Amino acid sequence: MQNRPFAFGPIDLSTTLTTNLLNPGTTTGGTNCTAAPYDKLKIILFRLRAVNRSAGVVKVSLWIGATGANAAGTAFLWQTASIPAYSFLEWGGRKELTTTQFLVGGADTATAATLEGDGEIGVA
């Protein structure tokens, strides 16, 4: 079986820069089909878009790492990057997330910006 298209968001970004935004799940249920190595999902991100819905400048930051953390060395994208009023930032690339990796982040202004993205989801 192949990976399937996957989309998420829009998600309101808060001022808590350690907010969990995205993390692949695990498979549960069934009989003899959810044990390792088929018990974990993976997400391959191809596009992320941060949209500023406000009349002011908003700064956004994203990390990939442990749940609820933005430790040194885990910065991923847009570290305090400014988004002009009613505009957006977009990233295109390829980044795989496993069940132990969380996309975390936020903005400097609560609920002024959203995050959305797409890619593929499959079994790790």
CATH number of residue 15's parent domain: 2.60.120
| Domain contains 113 | yes
Place 29 in a pLDDT band, splitting at 50, 70 and 90.
Answer: low
Distance of CA 71 to the CA centre of its chain: 16
Which pLDDT belongs to residue 1?
54
Tell whether the model's pLDDT for residue 116 goes beyond 70: yes
**pTM of structure:** 0.90
Helices (H), 1-124: none
Which pLDDT belongs to residue 25?
85
CA nearest neighbour of 77 among 111, 104, 57: 104
The arithmetic mean of pLDDT across residues 105-115, rounded, is 96
Q: What's the domain count of the chain?
A: 1
What is the Cα–Cα distance from 60 to 17, expressed in whole angstroms? 9
pLDDT tens-digit map of 49-80: 999 999 999 999 999 999 999 999 999 999 99
The arithmetic mean of pLDDT across residues 96-111, rounded, is 94
Which pLDDT belongs to residue 33?
66
Q: Tell me the CB-side half-sphere exposure of residue 109, using CA atoms within 13 A.
A: 18
| Domain contains 32 | no
What is the Cα–Cα distance from 27 to 99, expressed in whole angstroms? 11
What is the Cα–Cα distance from 58 to 36, expressed in whole angstroms? 42
**Could you list the residue range(s) of the whole structural domain that residue 58 is in?**
4-27+41-119
